[in-house]
Amino acid sequence: MFAVIPARNEASRIASAIRNVRLAGATRILVVVNGCHDGTREVVHALQAGDLTMLTFREALGVDVPRAIGAAYAYSRGARHVLFYDGDLIGQHRDELARLVRSAQRFDVDLALTDTYGIAHDAQEARDTLIRLRYELNHKLGLSARLGLSNPAHGPHIVSRRLMREVPLAYFAKPPLLLTSAVQQGLHIDTLAHIAHARLGSAHKGPAHYERIRETIIGDLLEALCLTQDRPPSRELRGLAFDGYNSERRFDLLERFVQSLQKKTPLL
């Protein structure tokens, strides 16, 4: 199992994240360090061993773009399955994470998700736009009964090599699009772990950051709903545009990285 850990200014947390994926069964670990102004790079460097690789980007890559970077790198190295695990997670959930890793490989699941919400009661009627759109997307994909509110935008998840081959790489940076494309490609998708959000142990970065993350995910969900209907992508809902951090995503750096990989690995 290959693990990809995005990290931006996580010097106090990244060691715990690396330890968690190691204990869960990851045998190769890639940390994508980007836009850091603390000691994240130095902490990872001190932990480097035969199973750990670090990619460093001076500039911030933007929300979830490190996942796409990691997916491209792991695929080029022959990874059969890849676990995505955020660098700020320090919660006590190692048993569930290990179960996710084992089950994804045992049942050959192409997209194995973590349920962080629990049973979705009347989610389609929820006042919270994010919750309602998560439910609406899974319902339109025919997966609401199986997935509930699960989505690769939230919580540890695992993808197969088959998915990495079939789904556009840029969709790794917009997780609801990754889910939608995986369904359209007829891939095997399931929720294989249950970890309450509070037990993830993610960092609290203030209300302004939280709101922008919400807007980012809402916009991604709106784009995914467009994809289900074969419509041009839009991040607008009732006259409001949900950009969040979307405009800060560095797809140009992703493209440049992929080009450099292709020069080294022509068959990528």
Which of 21, 174, 151, 169 shows the shortest CA–CA distance to 86?
21
The end-to-end CA distance of the chain, in Å, is 19
Asked whether residue 125 is assigned to any structural domain, the reply reads no
Confidence of residue 267 (pLDDT cuts 50, 70, 90): very low
Domain assignment present for residue 160? The answer is yes
How many other C-beta atoms are found inside a 10 Å radius of the C-beta of residue 256? Answer: 11
* pLDDT score of 177 more than 50: yes
Residue numbers of the domain that contains 20:
2-120+147-202+251-264
236 within a domain of the structure (yes/no): no
3-class state of residue 27 by DSSP: coil
Average per-residue pLDDT for the chain: 95
Per the domain annotation, does 243 fall within a domain? no
Report the alpha-carbon distance of residue 66 to residue 50 in Å, rounded.
Answer: 21
Kindly report, residue by residue over 71-109, the tens digit of the pLDDT. 999 999 999 999 999 999 999 999 999 999 999 999 999
Q: How many domains does the chain have?
A: 1
Strand, helix or coil at 157? strand
Residues 179, 224: Cα–Cα separation, whole Å:
8
Question: What band does 122 get if pLDDT is binned at 50, 70 and 90?
Answer: low
CATH number at residue 70: 3.90.550.10
The pTM (predicted TM-score) of the whole model is 0.95
- Residue 233 forms part of a structural domain: no
Q: Which two tokens stand for residue 251?
A: 């797809």
Mean pLDDT of 116-127: 65
Of 257, 252, 250, the closest CA to residue 8 belongs to 250
| CB hemisphere CA count around 57 (13 angstroms) | 22
Residue 68 falls within a domain, yes or no? Answer: yes
Residue 230 lies in a domain: no
Domain presence at residue 195 = yes
Cα separation, 13 vs 7, whole angstroms: 9
Neighbours of 22 (CB within 10 A): 17
